[in-house]
Each structure stands twice: as C-alpha cells, then as structure tokens.
Amino acid sequence: MVTCKETRAAIIALHKNGFTGKDIVATKIAPKSTIYRIIKNFKERGSIPVKKASGRPRKSSKRQDRLLKRIQLRDRSATSAELAQEWQQAGVSASARTVRRRVLEDGLVSRRAAKKPLLSKKKRQGQIDLLQKYGEWTAEDRGKVIFSDEASFRLFGASGKRLVRRRKDC
C-alpha cells in the first residue's frame, strides 16, 4: 500500500522518538504491514525513500503544456484535432485525445457557444418595411396567411453547433 509523505514522516518520527512498531500500529496511521515496511526501509537506508511514480511518462513538459494553453486561449473554438496539429508544429507529437486531457487538466471544458441573432442593417430595414406594409392588417387579414417554420435535416456531417472552451465554473 502506498502512503503519502506526511504519513511516512510521522511513522519515522514516532520510531525515532522510541515508539515500537506495535505502539505505532496502535495509532492506526497506516496498516501494520506498511508501518513495519517503512521502519525496515528506514533502518536499511537511513532515509525515507521516495519512489518515482509508476506509469508511462508524459509526452509533454510543463512548458509545452503552457504553450498549448496559450494556443487554446487564442482560439477558444478550435477543435482538439486542430490544437494537436498546431501543437505538433511547435514540436510536441501528441494526439487529439492527449490535447483534450491537457485542456481538461487546465480546468477548461467544452460548451455549446451561445447563439446571438445577427441583425444587419439590411435585415432591420427589411423588418421595418414589412411592418409598414402589413402593420395595418386586421386579425382577419392575418388569418388568411399561412406561416411555416424552416427545418434543416442532416444525414451526414456535423450538426453545425459550435463548441467553445470555458472554465468549469462558467
């Protein structure tokens, strides 16, 4: 069982102060086998060993991760694949999945971009013209007109919804 540095230090401190292994076990800081193993290693080596973390080493350094963050903040709507390609040009060979993990580590999550209706001057003038042309219609006149909604259907491809990255709390 792996213990944190503080627990190891506490066990060694108790051992140095004359507590026996049995006394330390009674404090229930850690399991019995862990306590005895830490004391044994301390007696053999004279210090608390800090083992290197297991697992595959990271593909990027902290500096490269900061570079990715700057690239991402420049264009919040860039996809992970686009970010990976730009990061690769900077010298880091990483997949889009690695980019997503690094961006999540920075506390940024993908959210759907807020919609904002685009009203150009031409569109506003068209609405004013329509109101002036049909503004005097009665309810009976409007009842003779059929309005319909437009809908788009996609069989293939993207839905057209843009994603942007933001802080988790936003």
Average pLDDT over residues 98-127: 84
Residues 167 and 150: their CA atoms lie apart, in Å, by: 34
- pLDDT of the residue at 133: 85
Q: How far apart are the first and last CA of the chain?
A: 38
**Average pLDDT along the chain:** 82
pLDDT in tens, 114-169: 777 777 888 888 888 888 888 888 888 878 877 666 766 677 766 667 788 887 77
Identify the H or E element spanning 167. strand 163-167
Question: Which distant-in-sequence residues (6+ apart) come within 8 Å of 113 by Cβ?
Answer: 77, 161, 162, 163, 164
